[in-house]
Structure 1
Amino acid sequence: MERTWTSVVSARGVSKEFANGLRALSDITLNVLEGEFLSVLGPSGCGKTTLLRLIAGLAAPTGGILERPDARNETGFVFQEPTLLPWTTALANVALPLKLAGVGRKERLRRAGEALAGVGLVGFERSYPRELSGGMKMRVSIARALVTRPRLLLMDEPFAALDEISRHKLNIDLLALWQRERFTAVFVTHSVFESVFLSQRIAIMSARPGRVWTELAIPVAYPRDEAFRTSAQYAGLCRQASQRLFEAMAVKAEAA
């Protein structure tokens, strides 16, 4: 039987203007489908983070219609920085959302331990953030976002500050986690290479005020590995994404 795709997020003509008059987003139209991995690609300052915050419910649009999961525990958010509590352990950091939700101690620690195991951090439950590498701290942050078993995971350039080797490894591990858990992922990045490697579809944004100028499908089966990253197909898709990104940026330049 053919699968019927449903939208987890639907944005129709969404705009966002701040109190100081800055228009960050204009006429955003975007559907995010159940279970897909979507990247949002665009230049710095185009409103990618603002769009993610609107989807998360951390801010409200000033125009248009935005439909998104209503329940707080249906959405997980991974920020650019791990934002871990420095005075407590990795296990306690991951368990924090469950504690705030009133989940009992035994159950929340069990689920936090499972979440840490899911991101490859067995044996580091009692470690403090100062004892972890940058990549390990980001894994803890991802585990914390997933511990509530959200329907939608939003990620705001989570690997941008990491070295290339760590970033490549986390890309592969994130895809394995997504395939296993089957959450819907929206991943913000300004890296063409990362967006092509991770995604089923890329939404490419123009410069501020940002809008989704075009989309690019990545018709490559999963799992993806280093063999794909060094393939001619990957190089060709990166060229396509780069060209469309340059065209999106030129639209703003011509309108200026």
Structure 2
Amino acid sequence: MTAPLVSLRGVAKRYATGTLAVRGIELDIRPGDFLALLGPSGCGKSTLLRMIAGLAEPTAGRIDWPGGTPGPRDIGFVFQEPTLMPWATALANVALPLDLAGVPGREAEARAAAMLARVGLQGFEQAYPRALSGGMRMRVSIARALVTRPRLLLLDEPFAALDEITRFRLNNDLLELWEAERFTVVFVTHSVFESVYLARRIVVMAPRPGRMHAELAVAAARRGEAFRTSADYAAHCREVSEALGLAMAGEAA
């Protein structure tokens, strides 16, 4: 069996205020996974994501990388908001991680332009964030996270603020990128429907302190509109909804 990319053992996080955000997290993230963390607001999903990224330290337990400690280019992070530099073009925003890594200017620009094309923004390289729609700004953010070809892509409810049509389109685009590149994904969401459509594994989390309530597999060979409107999709959504309901009620899995 392939060793996990990331292994979490007994992970907990208590803030200086005394709030216990998450506790007792036992989770293996395998290479090529598309894993969704599903739960209500305030259950510690984002806290867990930040600890995996190394942006916060657990107060108990450990996070191991059996394949080797990640470097700055090994993790891509997409926040809830695009967090783009408003004074920089789309091309410059995407090239930023490469610039910081010392990649020569022409190479960085070429790689950034290629990644913008991959997310459907060819022709918008010189556009500034203010001239882009919300969905386009999120595409730039995803391109920036992927331009270093990270081993692990972490996404913190990136599509929550978008309209449904744009959200569906970006779901499909993200899946297309993942299927082509097979990087590892951890995707935070509070949407049952989004988690079932995107993920191959879903971790359902209980309210604060965040705990793993259940882990469910979604074994659909291909995503797409045929899957979204299928009886199989509806059945998976029902199963995940029931697990989330039990988690919210504080019942045992």
Tell me the distance in 2 between the aligned counterparts of 1:103 and 1:110: 11
Separation of aligned partners in 2, 1:200 and 1:94: 28
How far apart are the structure 2 equivalents of 1:104 and 1:11? Answer: 36
Match of 2:50 among 37, 50, 53: 53
Aligned residue number for residue 20 of structure 2: 23
User: Structure 1: where are the runs of 5+ without partners?
Assistant: none
Supply the RMSD in Å over aligned alpha carbons.
1.1
Q: Distance in 2 between matches of 1:5 and 1:120?
A: 33
AA matched with 1:35: G
Number of aligned residue pairs: 249
Equivalent of residue 35 in structure 2, options 35, 38, 44: 38
* 1:195 counterpart = 2:192: no
TM score, norm. by length of structure 1: 0.95
TM-score under structure 2 normalisation?
0.96
| Residue aligned with 1:35, SS | coil
Distance 1:212 1:55 in 2: 15
Matched residues in 1 for 2:128 and 2:3: separation? Answer: 40
Note if 1:65 corresponds to 2:62.
yes
Map of 2:105 onto structure 1: 105
Q: Point out where structure 2 has 5 or more consecutive residues left out of the alignment.
A: none
- In the alignment, what sits opposite 1:136? 136
Q: Show the counterpart of 2:80.
A: 80
Identity of aligned residues (%): 63
Q: Which residue number corresponds to residue 158 of structure 1?
A: 158
Partner Cα separation in structure 1 for residue 243 and residue 194 of structure 2: 15
| In 2: Cα distance, 1:54 partner to 1:179 partner | 26
Partner of 1:89: 89
- Aligned partner of 1:169 in structure 2 is 169
Runs of 4+ off more than 4 Å? none
- Matched residues in 2 for 1:216 and 1:207: separation? 18
